[in-house]
Amino acid sequence: MFKGVGTALITPFNENGIDLESYEKLIEFEIKNGAQALIVCGTTGEPATMTKAEKDSVISTAIEIINKRVPSIVGTGANSTATAIANSIEAEKMGADGLLVVTPYYNKCTQKGLVAHYKAIAESVDAPIFLYNVPGRTGVNILPETVKELSCVKNIVAIKEASGNMAQVMEVARIIEGTGMSLYSGDDALTLPMLALGAKGVISVASNVIPSVMSDIVSLYFSGDVEKSRALHFKYLPLMTALFVETNPIPVKYAASKLGLCKNILRMPLTTIEKEHAAKLDAVMKELGL
């Protein structure tokens, strides 16, 4: 679907709800600065705290503004298979170019359950599906053998790997070699080593604030200038790390507000960044000239 950087968009809020004006500004900022895809209502966008009407508004607004300039990939996962199917069908009807489907959280299904879950969703839509593996949030881990089985489903085209387990990531990369399934990093700080394993890019939190930098890291690597890519990665690694000093998207929303992209408003139970963490992030951003 894309090669490079897909930004996992934050959702700007104001005192009255969704700040669609800031959302449009953010989308234009991302496209102008090199994002190759935009992910709408992923984890970073706080969809779990939105009403259905709000999510529909965010998705339809994003798809309209993006207007096929880059792929729009919509998060449609849920812990209920029926809900995930309904979300996926609706997003496809709205014009989403792809679907990002997180593992069903809380239920803690088996690998057999994961296969049945994803196959049921894939059978309900024609849109390309990205598996999203983030066991630290969901309590469920997609094992490499399960990824291999799901790679045989025609419209399951990629996996966003955010397990943080490089041994597992290597095995996933090995096991899907030649299947046509694409691997994407789900962790900014692991983008460079995952590119070396054959990843097609990253679904990035940091690119909310440094889209051109993240795009350069990936494009330099793909052009063969690994040394420059690595140097840029190392330069911005402190920021990538600082953006996870608290639960995502608390730090990145603060950083985006510092750049004038949105207000520093989150939905409870998420709360604004702690002062000591804000000071650390401020120092890193200042050091980088942001």
What whole-number distance in Å separates Cα of residue 36 and Cα of residue 86?
A: 27
Q: Is 213 exposed, middle or buried (0-12, 13-18, 19+ CB in 10 A)?
A: buried
Question: Taking the C-alpha atoms of 90, 92, 98 and 100 in order, what is their torsion angle to the nearest 10 degrees?
Answer: 10
Please name the helix (run of DSSP H) or strand (run of DSSP E) that holds residue 129, with its range, or none. strand 129-133
Neighbours of 212 (CB within 10 A): 15
Q: Give the residue from 62, 116, 39 showing the smallest Cα distance to 84.
A: 116
Determine contact, residues 98/129, Cβ cutoff 8 Å.
yes
What whole-number distance in Å separates Cα of residue 69 and Cα of residue 84?
A: 26
Query: Which of 160, 184, 200, 221 is labelled catalytic?
Result: 160
Q: Is 280 exposed, middle or buried (0-12, 13-18, 19+ CB in 10 A)?
A: middle
Place of tokens 């690119």: 207
Query: Which of 23, 55, 118, 132 is labelled catalytic?
Result: 132
Does residue 242 sit in helix, strand or coil? helix
Catalytic (active site) residue 132: yes
Place of tokens 């000239």: 289
Determine contact, residues 270/247, Cβ cutoff 8 Å.
yes
Catalytic residues: 132, 160
